[in-house]
Structure 1
């Protein structure tokens, strides 16, 4: 039996919440319990975010009834475990779209998305491209957006680390262009290269990542990685213009290859141009700011500081609520 009351969106769930709701199953693992049994460890998502979930009763049987990437209907309650909010489930099943529509199921309500409308963000990106001064570079970007735009509009920027939702890559690109061009003006470096780098640096993620509601890695993504994939996309687009300047192509390639900022962070080369240095710093800043805000928002403790973040290697101060 499903609970009587409908659960609120994930962002509004707390430790006293009970009810039923529709979600996307983003992760699913059958794990052993200390007592020798098993339980299902899940990550559920809706348009407002994601939450860990567990179900203990009948875990092995339920594991066969739905897959990662399926929409599911669940019933359960909110629970605080080690200062982290989770859902403890009583029941779960795969959604029947025709049947569950009567109870309000809509796919778009279950898919985490960027806070801004995608069409609005896309028009902003096209405006940045129009302001690129060098015609050969503007034409290159036009070709890339024409070919890869349908995916670039909706793709996530990562599986988990930052902007891991529909439209997240586009949101990340726009923030880098916004901040990076401001720094370019302040330090008198080439803003055209920053705009181009914003579009090109993570373009390979549209092939590195699979995205069918749930986010994963493609075979090519695991074997090659987004930096090498993106480099190939850039080189292919540059070859379409026989007169495209070699020096400009090299500088763009360098931004793509060095944008992680260091070899131990995945870049095969370190930034060696002014633009690449500004770009790598901007890319890192945007990812870190996203991670910090998410870590603060996800922390359910009552103290002034969050739990320790392994990724950020620190605790974070939580500003008092107004």
Structure 2
């Protein structure tokens, strides 16, 4: 049977034989005492809730907590949402699947985006910053991860190439803002924009699914990014025979560990320089706009309003035809 992606599923379809990524499973009891499984199936286009009635504990234990399964079943409409009813399911070896079917990928050109990032970095005038940035750019293995890494597991730019797309978005915003505020140290803002999420190259993994590494769980990308800047500054000193100014390194590290803006959202420090504050808001703008666009791209094209849980409010669909200015009472 030809590959059918989750975004193309409609109620009433019969699915004879498809491979999905099983991202969550739960064994439950129904009101009559029989067992059923609540499952989440996914591919590169998104997830779908699934149920398997008349399940068994033996089958439940045989399924991976995070792995690939071959499924037969049907789709139906349940309270206005698509639901997959599983008739048969069995685990399969991850080596037998095409990973590209299961990892969402940016729709932007990765080579073009990376070229633009490097082009912007070349506008930095501070030689110490340039030498430090060069240590990152010359690290081919790191830059390969930077080009492929997601920016998140689910919240925003959660796809292969998402980190690069998000980083470029923040850098472009910094360029647009610079003429309005000439008093800003825009070299610092650009360097901070480039490096603000560099720790995600170590925090996240994307082999068969998007997930956190052990070091990502223990340490997190803010601290990892600050550590990477420290390591690269030491290497810069070895290459140049002179140290990068300590205050410059610390100012850049501060921008990284404070760019989430508040302790509530994981910032190790609150922004204490204008450049750090600017970076926080530019990062937030790019992330939130992508978050909203992604939510509506997964919704019905005619959906006018949608509640976005992570932002705790309703949002108007930004993709609706703006030509109709009539306000509905």
TM-score per shorter chain, which class? 0.7 to 0.9
User: Looking at CA atoms only, which structure, 1 or 2, has the larger radius of gyration?
Assistant: 2
Structure 1 residues 238 and 109, CA gap change in structure 2 (3 angstroms): same
Q: Which runs of 5+ in 2 are unaligned?
A: 238-242, 323-329
What is the CA distance between 1:216 and its match in structure 2? 2.1
Alignment-derived partner of residue 327 in structure 2 = none
Distance 2:222 2:89 in 1: 39
Q: CA deviation at 1:69?
A: 4.8
* Selected match of 1:14 from 4, 10, 16: 10
Aligned to 1:30: 26
> Structure 1, residues 172-225: CA drift from partner, whole Å, max 9, x if none?
111111112212332222332222112211122222223322122222222222
Q: Which residue of 2 aligns with 1:282?
A: 282
Please state how far the C-alpha of 1:95 moved relative to its aligned partner: 4.4
Q: Structure 1 residue 58: deviation in Å?
A: 3.4
Of 146, 156, 161, the match for 1:152: 146
Contact 1:258 1:270 in 2 (8 A): yes
Residue pair 1:45, 1:51 contacting (<8 A) in 2 also: no
What is the deviation of 1:82?
Answer: 4.2
Q: Give the Cα–Cα distance (whole angstroms) in 1 for the partners of residues 165 and 83 of structure 2.
A: 27
The question of 1:204 aligning with 2:202 is answered no
Does the 8 Å CA contact 1:30/1:60 hold for their aligned counterparts? no
Contact 1:7 1:13 in 2 (8 A): no
Which residue of the partner structure matches residue 225 of structure 1?
Answer: 220
2:47 maps to: 50
Report the number of matched residues: 310
Aligned to 2:85: 88
Q: State the distance in 1 between where 2:113 and 2:12 align.
A: 37
With 258-267 and 57-66 compared, the bigger mean Cα shift is at 57-66
Q: Deviations over 1:119-166 (max 9, x none)?
A: 332222222222222232222222123331121111111121111221
Q: Does 1:136 align with 2:128?
A: yes
Structure 2 residue 222 is the aligned partner of structure 1 residue 193: no
Q: Using structure 1 for the length normalisation, give the TM-score.
A: 0.85
- Any idea what the Cα deviations from partners look like across 1:69-126, whole Å, max 9, x if unmatched? 534333333334444434333233344689x7xxxx6332222111123233222222
Provide the residue aligned with 1:265 in structure 2.
265
Which is worse superposed, 60-69 or 272-281?
A: 60-69
Quote the Cα distance in structure 2 between the aligned partners of 1:185 and 1:82: 51
Conserved? CA contact 1:22–1:73, under 8 Å? yes
**1:72 to 2:69 alignment:** yes
Offset at residue 301 of structure 1 (A): 9.5
Closer, same or farther: CA 87–196 of 1 in aligned 2, 3 Å: farther
Q: Residues of 2 paired with 1:96 and 1:264: CA distance?
A: 40
Shift of 1:9: 2.4
Q: 1:244-267: per-residue Cα shift (whole Å, max 9, x none)?
A: 122221221121011001122211
Unaligned runs of 5+ in 1: none
CA separation of 1:178 and 1:106: change in aligned 2, threshold 3 A: same
Moved >6 Å (runs of 4+): none
Contact kept in structure 2, 1:194 and 1:275, CA below 8 Å: yes
SS of 2:236's partner is: coil
CA contact (8 A) 1:40 1:59 kept: no
Mapped to 2, the partners of 1:180 and 1:33 lie a distance apart of 53
Give RMSD over aligned pairs.
2.7
